[in-house]
Amino acid sequence: MSITVENVTKRYADQTTVDRVSLEVKTGELFVLLGASGSGKSTLLRMVAGLVLPDEGTIHIAGRDVTYLAPQQRDVGFVFQNYSIFRHMTVARNIEFGLRIRGVRKAERRERGEELLDLVGLGGLGNRYESQLSGGQQQRVALARALAYKPGVLLLDEPFGALDVKIRAQLRQSLKEIQKALGVTTILVTHDQEEAFELGHRIGVVDRGRLLEVDAPDRLYERPRSLYVATFLGAGTVLVGRCRDHRVALGPLTLPIPPDVPHDEGDRVRVLIRPEQVALNAVEPARNIPTLGRGQIVDETFSGAVRRTRVRLPSLEGVRQVSPPLPFGEENVLLDVAVAAHSEPPRENPWVVLEAWHILRQPTPRLLVCDEGAGLAPALELARPLAEAIDGVVTVLGVAADTRRQDALRDALAARVAEAGLPDATVRVRRGDPAEQIAAEQREAPYDFVIVGAGEVESRWGRRQLPRLGEQLVERIATPLILARGRPRKPERVLICTAVGEPGKADIRAGGWLARRLGARATLLHAARPGRAANPIARTHLERGVATLRELEVESRFSVREAETPIEAILAELRDDPHDIVVVGAAPPNARGFLRGDQVTRQVLRQSGVSVLVVPQGSW
Amino acid sequence: MSAAAPVAVRRRGGRRRGGAALPVGIVLLVLLPLILMPLAAIFVFAFRGGAADFVKVLSSPEAQFALRFSLLIAFATAAINAILGTYTAYVLSRYRFRGERPLGILVNLPVAIPTVVVGTSLLLLWGPIGLLGRWLVPLGLQPMFAPAGVLLAHLFVTFPYMLGAVKPVLDEIEGTYEEAAYTIGANRWQTFRWVILPALRGGLFSGVLLTFAHSLGEFGATVLVSGNLRLKTQTAPLYIFAQFEAGNVAAANAVAAVLATLSFFIFFFLLRYTARRGR
Q: Which residues in B lie closer than 8 A to residue A88 (C-beta atoms)?
A: 198-199, 201
**What does the pLDDT read at residue A499?**
56
Q: Which residues in A lie closer than 8 A to residue B204 (C-beta atoms)?
A: none
Give me the helices (H) in A68-192, please.
Answer: 91-101, 106-119, 135-147, 165-182
Residue A358 above 80 pLDDT? Answer: yes
In A, minimum Cα distance to B200 occurs at A88
**What does the pLDDT read at residue A133?**
92
Computed over every residue of chain A, the mean pLDDT equals 85
- Per-domain residue ranges for chain A? 3-222, 235-359, 366-485, 493-616
CB contact under 8 A, A101 and B184: yes
Looking at the whole model, is its pTM more than 0.90? no
**What does the pLDDT read at residue B240?**
92
CB contact under 8 A, A87 and B180: no
In A, minimum Cα distance to B188 occurs at A72
Range with the lowest mean pLDDT among A114-118, A224-228, A383-387, A601-605? A601-605
CB contact under 8 A, A70 and B182: yes
Q: Which residues in A lie closer than 8 A to residue B179 (C-beta atoms)?
A: 51, 71, 78, 80, 84
Query: For chain A, how are helix, strand and coil distributed in percent, rounded to 5?
Result: 30, 30, 40
> Are the beta carbons of A483 and A454 closer than 8 angstroms?
yes
CB contact under 8 A, B183 and A51: yes
In the chain, the amino acid numbered A619 is S
Residue A44 above 90 pLDDT? Answer: yes
- The secondary structure of residue B34, as a DSSP letter, is I
Nearest-angstrom CA–CA distance, A491 and A482: 12
Burial class from Cβ neighbours inside 10 Å (0-12, 13-18, 19+) for residue B274 reads middle
Q: In angstroms, what separates the C-alpha of A163 from chain B's closest C-alpha? A: 19
**What does the pLDDT read at residue A596?**
44
Query: Own/partner pairs for B144-148, CB < 8 Å, 24+ apart?
Result: B144/B225, B144/B227, B145/B225, B145/B226, B145/B227, B145/B229, B145/B233, B146/B232, B146/B233, B147/B69, B147/B73, B147/B232, B147/B233
Better-predicted residue by pLDDT, A377 or B188: B188
Give me the helices (H) in A189-284, please.
Answer: 193-199, 217-222, 227-232
Q: Which one, of B195, B279, B90, lies nearest residue A85 by Cα?
A: B195
- Per-domain residue ranges for chain B? 37-278
CB contact under 8 A, A88 and B199: yes
**What does the pLDDT read at residue A534?**
66
What is the three-class DSSP state of A373? Answer: coil
Q: pLDDT per residue over A130-158, tens digit each?
A: 999 998 999 999 999 999 999 999 999 99
Residue A261 above 60 pLDDT? Answer: yes
**What does the pLDDT read at residue B277?**
61
> Are the beta carbons of A136 and A163 closer than 8 angstroms?
yes
**What does the pLDDT read at residue B9?**
46
**What does the pLDDT read at residue A278?**
92
In A, minimum Cα distance to B193 occurs at A101
Question: Among partner residues B174, B179, B201, which is closest to A51 by beta-carbon distance?
Answer: B179
**pLDDT range class, residue A467, cuts 50, 70, 90:** low
Q: Which residues in A lie closer than 8 A to residue B177 (C-beta atoms)?
A: 84, 86
Better-predicted residue by pLDDT, A590 or A430: A430
**pLDDT range class, residue A620, cuts 50, 70, 90:** low
Q: Which one, of B77, B141, B65, B117, lies nearest residue B224 by Cα?
A: B117
Strand A521-528: give its sheet, edge to edge: A426-431, A393-400, A366-370, A449-454, A481-485, A611-616, A581-586, A493-497, A521-528, A556-562
CB contact under 8 A, A72 and B201: no
What is the three-class DSSP state of A585? Answer: strand
> How far is residue A506 from each of residues A278, A466, A524, B80, measured CA to CA in Å?
35, 25, 13, 74
Residues of chain B with pLDDT under 50: 1-12, 278-279
Range with the lowest mean pLDDT among A63-67, A289-293, A420-424, A585-589? A585-589
Better-predicted residue by pLDDT, A54 or B142: A54
**Which CATH topology does A493-616 take?**
Rossmann fold (3.40.50)
CB contact under 8 A, B182 and A88: no
How many residue contacts between A and B have a Cβ separation below 8 Å?
Answer: 63
CB contact under 8 A, A78 and B183: yes
Most confident region among A425-429, A531-535, B66-70 by mean pLDDT: B66-70
Nearest-angstrom CA–CA distance, A569 and A528: 8
**Which CATH topology does B37-278 take?**
MetI-like fold (1.10.3720)
Most confident region among A229-238, A274-283, B69-78 by mean pLDDT: B69-78
Nearest-angstrom CA–CA distance, A5 and A44: 9
> Are the beta carbons of B180 and A78 closer than 8 angstroms?
yes
CATH class of A3-222: alpha beta
Task: Enumerate chain A positions whose Cβ falls within 8 A of a Cβ in B.
Answer: 49-51, 70-72, 74, 76-78, 80, 82, 84, 86-89, 97-98, 100-102, 142, 145-146, 149, 155
In A, minimum Cα distance to B178 occurs at A84
**Which CATH topology does A366-485 take?**
Rossmann fold (3.40.50)
Nearest-angstrom CA–CA distance, A59 and A9: 11
CB contact under 8 A, A72 and B195: no
**What does the pLDDT read at residue A598?**
57
What interface predicted TM-score (ipTM) does this complex get?
Answer: 0.73
Q: Which residues in B lie closer than 8 A to residue A145 (C-beta atoms)?
A: 180, 184
Residue A591 above 60 pLDDT? Answer: no
Question: B197-217 and B147-172 helices cross at what angle (nearest 10)?
Answer: 140
Residue A500 above 70 pLDDT? Answer: no
**pLDDT range class, residue A618, cuts 50, 70, 90:** low
In B, minimum Cα distance to A76 occurs at B183
